[in-house]
Amino acid sequence: MAGVPPFLRGVSIIRGEPTPVIGLASLLGGTDSPEGGRFVMMRIPERRLALAVDEVIGLRSLDVAELGSVPPLLRDAAGGHLEVLGTLDGRLLGALSTTRLLPEALWDSLVNRGETA
């Protein structure tokens, strides 16, 4: 598809719905593993996407209010997709702004294809 960001690895049918797959390493400026790794499903209001990651260490729910805003020098990190930055258990933690990861036209095309299938 024309105009999609380079970190979009493709679209997969997950639980019967077309779901965009984002390579987390390439989103953060690295190189995605060719082996594929694992998918972490994310729910965005009325939307879902899958993050392709090499490894899952653990999952937990967080209150983003506990994290701080991104410092000015890091605002452009991850292509401007980093929403908050903080620490958790002594480790650096960043939260992505998932609502802006993909162009609206891509979301619209996925919804329209899902309705016609």
What CA–CA distance (Å, rounded) separates 75 from 64? Answer: 17
- Structure confidence by residue, pLDDT tens digits, 69-107: 666 666 666 566 667 777 777 777 777 766 667 777 777
pLDDT at res. 25: 85
pLDDT at res. 117: 44
- Structure confidence by residue, pLDDT tens digits, 44-77: 777 888 888 888 887 777 776 766 666 666 666 6
Q: Measuring CA to CA, how many Å separate 32 from each of 7, 36, 106, 113? A: 9, 8, 21, 27
What CA–CA distance (Å, rounded) separates 69 from 104? Answer: 25
CA atoms within 13 A on the CB side of 105: 5
Higher pLDDT, 24 or 81: 24
Boundaries of every domain in the chain: 8-116
**pTM (2 decimals)?**
0.69
- Structure confidence by residue, pLDDT tens digits, 35-46: 667 888 887 777
